[in-house]
Structure formats: structure tokens, C-alpha cells
């Protein structure tokens, strides 16, 4: 039996006057958390809005939960929870009104879970949306999305503007969601710590292009920084898969995206240290390498 | 019409409840003041006119423009609806909100014309034409707000439609076939009245149908 992918994008492009999203292809399988990482203006929000059917691609095909977007968005969105950092609730209504509104629309609304989230996020149902802070807006929007128990959560920078405690609460909730193997999350952020914590698949985006997409462990296993100290007069040997290098006299720092024993063997005794890289370092090195290699 | 669309229409009534209530009471109170005649008539009529125009503008700005500007549109569009559902819900929801106030304002104006001794009954056709003009005017504002992507364009539409009220009052009020019966003891329903009414209704229908045909088909909504 073929399992329906939760998100499928094939060759998606979208052009604006000052920005173009180019040739995005990605898959999100049930049970996966995809972290979407990119600097400001990379195209994360555009890609997410395309996935939500809020804008249409110029070329390419998008399917969400098997539904073609944006044509069948009304059907697809029955099982999609969407929250973005700049989303606001309706100003002349209370949080409680929004909860009742969502409960009347979504048959899967879990009132007990909603009540738990109200307490956990320290929200007050009687509070008007107009008086909510930015963080409270995000928490309330997340509550409304999570308590529906959707199959797919699409979250655009959901931790932006949240204090560390609220961020921790939120990430814990996301991890809870993933106990159910049929649910998935597409999660964009420029905070690589959050992405590293919850994602099992990571896509890097820069200047409207996908620069890399892989499972998290793959990135962490393949990328290394190698410190090298060469003897007087010796030249650095040619090594495959070196994507960055910094030199200071005899000292060199090499960045590789395909770390192997072969590289170490070629460098021999010159190797002083081999560092594992965290996601932020991998992201920056990846983006810089792609920017340099692009015409 | 889907359940979600119906709920969104009800949502418009709920979030604009204070506007609707406040507008209806102010409009009714201002025509009651106008019933006193003389200087009070002018003050009452002006307040009534301002209330109906301002109510329409507020609905257009708060209901469409601010929803987009304050990003609550993103929340609405995250619901299981299409762009066409959104446009339908917004159009009919805000139109219904306006109609509630408009019915209160029109009914009280008609009652005052018919019941107040100091206001001639002959004014009734002109008052009704003015009421329908305001309804059509609101539909044009709403149509413009749904079409326009920039706040400047919406502001432009509002300015033009507001100016339209003065133009209407002075132009239609000067039609001899309407003017000569305006201060009579009984209302006269002549061809000029029906011709003006038909034009108003045509504008109203176009303003309501246009967003359903054009904006609903937009593929980019944010």
C-alpha cells in the first residue's frame, strides 16, 4: 500500500518583483518533522504559503495530504494546522470565542486537550485578542491548531518572539504530536537550535533556492571541521568534498560535507583536530559554499 | 454554501456587533432629532447621514483592510475554506452587518417622514432614493476593499464614494420631477424615482457580483 505523502512539491517556482523562489522540490512523509532553515528572505514563508494554498506557484506542482494546491485547499486544510509568527487572532473576539469557533468547525476538536493547553500556555479564555501580546497570539494560535489534532502541522517561525520558557513548552508540545506516527510537522525557523532539537529531516533554503535537504543525522554525521598544521614548505594536498577553507600561515581549517577516513589518511600527521559541527555551523558553511559556487 | 462559510458570516456579525448596535441606535436617534424640524432637522439629518456613511466606511476598513493589515486574515485563511469561500463569507457577512444597521436607519427615517408633522411626506421618495444610494455606496466600498491590495486604493475608493453622496444629493435633489413634489403633503412615485432606483440597484448588483467573479478567482491572496 502506498502511503500518501503529507507534502509533495515538485519543481515549484514563484516569482515576485524582487524575489524568486526557484525549483523547490520536497517531500514530507507521515511521522516526519521537517525543519526548514534559512536566513531572512530565503523563501521559507513563501514556500509555506504555497503549501497552504494562500498563493499559487507559477510553475510546479504541490500536493498536501494528497490534495492538489491551491485548487483543493478547502479539503486539505481540514486536516492541517497552520500557525505563523505574524498571525493574529480576530481582534474583537476573546480567546474563548476562538476556541468555541474552532470547536464548531473541526469535528476532531479535543476540548480536554484545549483546556490543558490553556493552562500550560498560561492563557485566559476571557481575554480579548486585542490585548494579547505577540507571544500570547502565537500561543493561542498554536492552541487552536494543536487541539484540532490535525494530521499535518505547518508552522512558520512559531518560536519567534517567545521567551525561553514558552519556547520550551512549545517544542515539548511538538514532540508530543510526533508520538503519533501518522502526524507530521513542517517547521520553519532561523533558530537552528530549535530545528536541531525536534526535526528529523532538514532543508536549507537560501535566496529562494534549496541548498540542501537531508535527514538530520546525515548532516551531523557528514559535516566536519578539520584543523590542520602543515610542516614548513608543505602544500595542502588536494582533498575531495572540501567546501570551505580558512588559512593562517601553516594553520588551516577545512570544512567537509562528506567526512571520511580517506581525507584524514591523505592529511596524515598534519591533522590536529576533527570537530563535529552543530546545525548552525553546518547551515552557515552550506549557505556560504553555495553562494560562492553560484555565478 | 459550506458550514465554515456560514460560520464566517456569523463571525462578521459577532465581531462587528458593537458597530452594528451603536450605528443603528445613533441613526435612529438622529432621525428622531430631525423630527423636531427647523434647526434640529438639519442637525439630525446630517448626523444620520454621517452615521450611515461612517458605518459603511468602518466596516470596509475594519472588516477587510485591517484584517489584512493586522494579519488576522492569515488565521481566517488557515480554516478549511477556499479563496472563493472567504470572499463569499466576507461579502455576505459585511453586507448583512451593514443591512441590519441600514434597515434600522431607513425604517426610522421613513417613520419620521410619515409621522413627524414638521417633515413633509413628499420627502419620502427622495429619502428612499438616498437610503438605497447609501446601500449601493457601501457595496462599492466593499467591492473596492476586496479588490484593492493597497490601503491607498481603498482610501481612494472611500473618498470617491463619500464625494458621491454629496454629488447624488445635489444632483438628484435638483431633478425637477423629484424636486417639485418634495415638499408636498403626499409622496409621488413617478418614473424619475423608479429610474434612479433602478440605476442604484444595478450599481449595487454589479458591486456585489464583481468580487464573486474576480477576487474569488485570485490565485494569490496574501
pLDDT at position A59:
96
Residues A89, A60: contact at Cβ < 8 Å? no
Most B CBs within 10 Å, among A52, A90, A157, to test the B interface: A90
Q: Is the dihedral of CA A260, A263, A266, A267 positive or negative?
A: negative
Query: How far B18 CA sits from the closest chain A CA (Å)?
Result: 9
H or E element that contains A37: strand A33-37
Other Cβ atoms closer than 10 A to B102:
22
| Beta pairing partners, A15 | A20
Contact with chain A for residue B6, Cβ under 8 A: no
H or E element that contains A1: none
User: Kind of pairing, strands A201-206 and A33-37?
Assistant: parallel
pLDDT tens-place string over residues A192-246: 888 888 898 999 999 999 999 999 999 999 999 999 998 887 888 888 889 988 9
Residues of A in contact with B18 (CB under 8 A): 92
Q: Number of residue pairs across A and B with CB atoms under 8 Å?
A: 84
Residue count (chain A): 295
Phi and psi of A105, rounded to 5°?
Answer: -100, -40
Residues of A in contact with B72 (CB under 8 A): 87-91, 129
DSSP structure string for B130-155: HHHHHHHHHHHHHHHHHH-SSHHHHH
Contact with chain B for residue A109, Cβ under 8 A: no
CA gap B139, B143 in Å, rounded: 6
DSSP structure string for A259-283: --HHHHHHHGGGEEEEEE--HHHHH
Interface predicted TM-score of the whole assembly (ipTM), two decimals: 0.86
Residues B124, B114: contact at Cβ < 8 Å? yes
H or E element that contains B18: helix B17-34
Most A CBs within 10 Å, among B79, B84, B85, B86, to test the A interface: B79
CA gap B4, B2 in Å, rounded: 5
Query: Residue with C-alpha cell 492538489?
Result: A68
3-class DSSP state of A243: strand
Residues of B in contact with A92 (CB under 8 A): 14-18
Contact between B15 and A104 using a beta-carbon 8 Å cutoff: no
Q: Select the residue of A54, A93, A141 nearest B222 (Cβ to Cβ).
A: A54
Residues A22, A190: contact at Cβ < 8 Å? no
pLDDT tens-place string over residues A146-177: 999 999 999 999 888 788 888 888 888 888 88
B2 HSE (CA, 13 A, CB side): 19
pLDDT at position B74:
92
pLDDT tens-place string over residues B17-68: 999 999 999 999 998 898 887 888 889 989 999 999 999 999 988 888 888 8
Q: Which three cell numbers, joined as nine digits, stand for B73? A: 486574515
H or E element that contains B221: none
H or E element that contains A199: none
CA gap A229, A236 in Å, rounded: 9
Q: How far is CA B108 from CA A176, A247, B21, in A?
A: 58, 85, 14
H or E element that contains B171: helix B151-172
Phi and psi of A185, rounded to 5°?
Answer: -135, 135
3-class DSSP state of B23: helix
Query: Residue with C-alpha cell 456587533?
Result: B17
Contact between A88 and B78 using a beta-carbon 8 Å cutoff: no
For residue A89, the chain B residue with the least C-alpha distance is B72
pLDDT at position A233:
79
Contact with chain B for residue A52, Cβ under 8 A: yes
Per-residue pLDDT tens digits of chain B, which is 222 residues long: 888 999 999 999 999 999 999 999 999 999 889 888 788 888 998 999 999 999 999 998 888 888 888 888 999 999 999 999 999 999 999 999 999 999 999 999 999 999 888 889 999 999 999 999 999 999 999 999 999 888 888 889 999 999 999 999 989 989 999 999 988 989 999 999 999 999 999 999 999 999 999 887 787 877
Residue A294 has pLDDT above 80, yes or no: no
Residue A135 has pLDDT above 90, yes or no: no
DSSP structure string for A75-97: HHGGGEEEEETT----TTSBHHH
pLDDT tens-place string over residues A75-91: 999 999 999 998 999 98
Residues B135, B129: contact at Cβ < 8 Å? no
- Cis peptide preceding A70, ω within 30 of 0: yes
pLDDT tens-place string over residues A109-132: 999 999 999 998 889 999 999 999
For residue A51, the chain B residue with the least C-alpha distance is B78
3-class DSSP state of A201: strand
Residues B174, B103: contact at Cβ < 8 Å? no
Nearest CA to B17 out of A131, A92, A98 is that of A92
pLDDT band at A295 (very low <50, low <70, confident <90, very high): low
Instruction: Write down the H helix ranges in B35-82.
Output: 38-60, 66-69, 72-77
Q: Is the dihedral of CA B59, B65, B68, B70 positive or negative?
A: negative
pLDDT at position B55:
93
Residues A291, A244: contact at Cβ < 8 Å? no
DSSP structure string for A124-152: -TTSBGGG--HHHHHHHHHHHHHTT--SE
Angle, helix B38-60 to helix B17-34, in steps of 10 degrees: 160
pLDDT at position A1:
59
**Counting beta carbons within 10 angstroms of the beta carbon of residue A44, is it exposed (0 to 12), middle (13 to 18) or buried (19 or more)?**
buried
Residues of B in contact with A54 (CB under 8 A): 74, 77, 220-222
pLDDT tens-place string over residues B185-198: 899 999 999 999 99
Contact between A88 and B16 using a beta-carbon 8 Å cutoff: no
H or E element that contains A256: strand A251-256
Per DSSP, A226 falls in state E
Q: Cα angle at A158 between A155 and A160, to 5 degrees?
A: 150
CA gap A280, A257 in Å, rounded: 14
Contact between A54 and B4 using a beta-carbon 8 Å cutoff: no
Q: Select the residue of A53, A101, A145 nearest B11 (Cβ to Cβ).
A: A101
Contact between A90 and B18 using a beta-carbon 8 Å cutoff: no
Q: What are the strands, taking DSSP E only, across chain B?
A: none
Instruction: Write down the H helix ranges in A21-67.
Output: 44-52
Q: Can you tell me the mean pLDDT for A269-283?
A: 92
Amino acid at each position: 500500500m502506498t502511503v500518501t505523502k503529507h507534502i509533495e512539491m515538485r519543481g515549484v517556482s514563484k516569482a515576485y518583483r524582487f524575489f524568486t523562489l526557484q525549483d523547490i522540490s520536497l517531500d514530507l512523509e507521515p511521522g516526519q518533522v521537517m525543519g526548514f532553515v534559512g536566513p531572512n528572505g530565503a523563501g521559507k514563508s513563501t514556500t509555506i504559503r504555497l503549501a497552504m494554498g494562500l498563493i499559487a506557484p507559477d510553475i510546479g506542482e504541490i500536493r498536501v495530504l494528497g490534495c492538489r494546491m491551491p485548487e483543493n485547499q478547502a479539503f486539505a486544510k481540514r486536516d492541517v494546522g497552520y500557525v505563523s509568527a505574524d498571525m493574529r487572532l480576530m481582534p474583537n473576539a476573546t480567546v474563548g470565542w476562538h476556541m468555541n469557533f474552532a470547536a464548531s468547525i473541526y469535528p476532531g476538536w479535543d476540548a480536554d486537550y484545549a483546556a490543558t493547553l490553556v493552562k500550560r500556555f498560561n492563557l485566559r479564555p476571557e481575554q480579548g485578542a486585542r490585548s494579547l501580546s505577540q507571544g500570547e497570539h502565537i500561543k493561542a494560535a498554536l492552541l487552536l491548531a494543536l487541539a484540532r489534532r490535525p494530521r499535518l502541522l505547518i508552522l512558520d517561525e512559531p518560536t519567534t518572539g517567545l521567551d525561553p520558557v514558552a519556547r520550551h513548552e512549545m517544542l515539548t508540545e511538538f514532540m508530543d504530536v510526533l508520538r503519533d506516527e501518522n502526524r507530521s510537522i513542517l517547521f520553519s525557523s532561523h533558530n537552528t537550535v530549535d530545528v536541531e532539537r525536534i526535526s528529523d529531516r532538514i532543508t536549507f533554503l537560501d535566496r529562494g533556492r534549496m541548498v540542501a535537504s537531508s535527514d538530520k543525522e546525515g548532516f551531523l554525521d557528514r559535516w566536519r571541521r578539520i584543523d590542520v598544521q602543515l610542516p614548513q614548505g608543505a602544500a595542502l594536498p588536494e582533498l575531495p568534498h572540501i567546501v570551505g577553507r580558512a588559512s593562517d600561515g601553516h594553520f588551516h581549517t577545512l570544512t567537509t560535507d562528506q567526512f571520511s577516513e580517506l581525507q584524514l589518511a591523505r592529511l596524515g600527521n598534519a591533522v590536529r583536530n576533527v570537530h563535529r559541527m552543530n546545525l548552525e555551523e553546518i547551515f552557515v558553511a552550506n549557505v556560504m559554499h553555495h553562494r560562492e559556487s553560484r555565478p | 454554501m459550506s458550514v465554515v462559510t456560514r460560520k464566517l458570516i456569523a463571525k462578521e456579525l459577532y465581531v462587528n456587533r458593537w458597530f452594528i448596535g451603536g450605528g443603528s441606535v445613533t441613526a435612529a436617534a438622529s432621525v428622531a432629532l430631525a423630527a423636531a424640524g427647523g434647526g434640529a432637522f438639519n442637525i439630525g439629518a446630517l448626523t444620520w447621514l454621517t452615521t450611515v456613511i461612517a458605518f459603511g466606511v468602518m466596516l470596509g476598513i475594519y472588516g477587510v483592510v485591517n484584517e489584512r493589515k493586522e494579519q488576522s486574515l492569515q488565521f481566517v485563511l488557515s480554516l478549511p475554506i477556499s479563496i472563493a469561500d472567504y470572499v463569499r463569507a466576507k461579502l455576505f457577512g459585511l453586507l448583512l452587518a451593514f443591512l441590519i444597521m441600514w434597515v434600522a436607519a431607513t425604517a426610522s427615517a421613513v417613520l419620521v417622514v410619515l409621522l413627524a408633522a414638521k417633515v413633509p411626506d413628499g420627502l419620502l421618495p427622495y429619502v428612499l432614493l438616498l437610503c438605497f444610494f447609501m446601500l449601493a455606496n457601501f457595496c462599492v466600498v466593499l467591492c473596492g476593499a476586496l479588490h484593492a491590495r493597497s490601503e491607498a486604493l481603498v482610501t481612494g475608493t472611500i473618498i470617491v464614494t463619500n464625494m458621491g453622496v454629496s454629488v447624488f444629493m445635489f444632483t438628484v435633489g435638483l431633478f425637477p420631477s423629484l424636486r417639485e413634489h418634495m415638499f408636498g403633503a403626499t409622496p409621488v412615485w413617478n418614473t424619475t424615482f423608479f429610474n434612479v432606483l433602478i440605476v442604484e440597484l444595478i450599481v449595487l448588483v454589479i458591486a456585489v457580483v464583481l468580487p464573486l467573479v474576480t477576487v474569488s478567482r485570485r490565485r494569490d491572496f496574501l
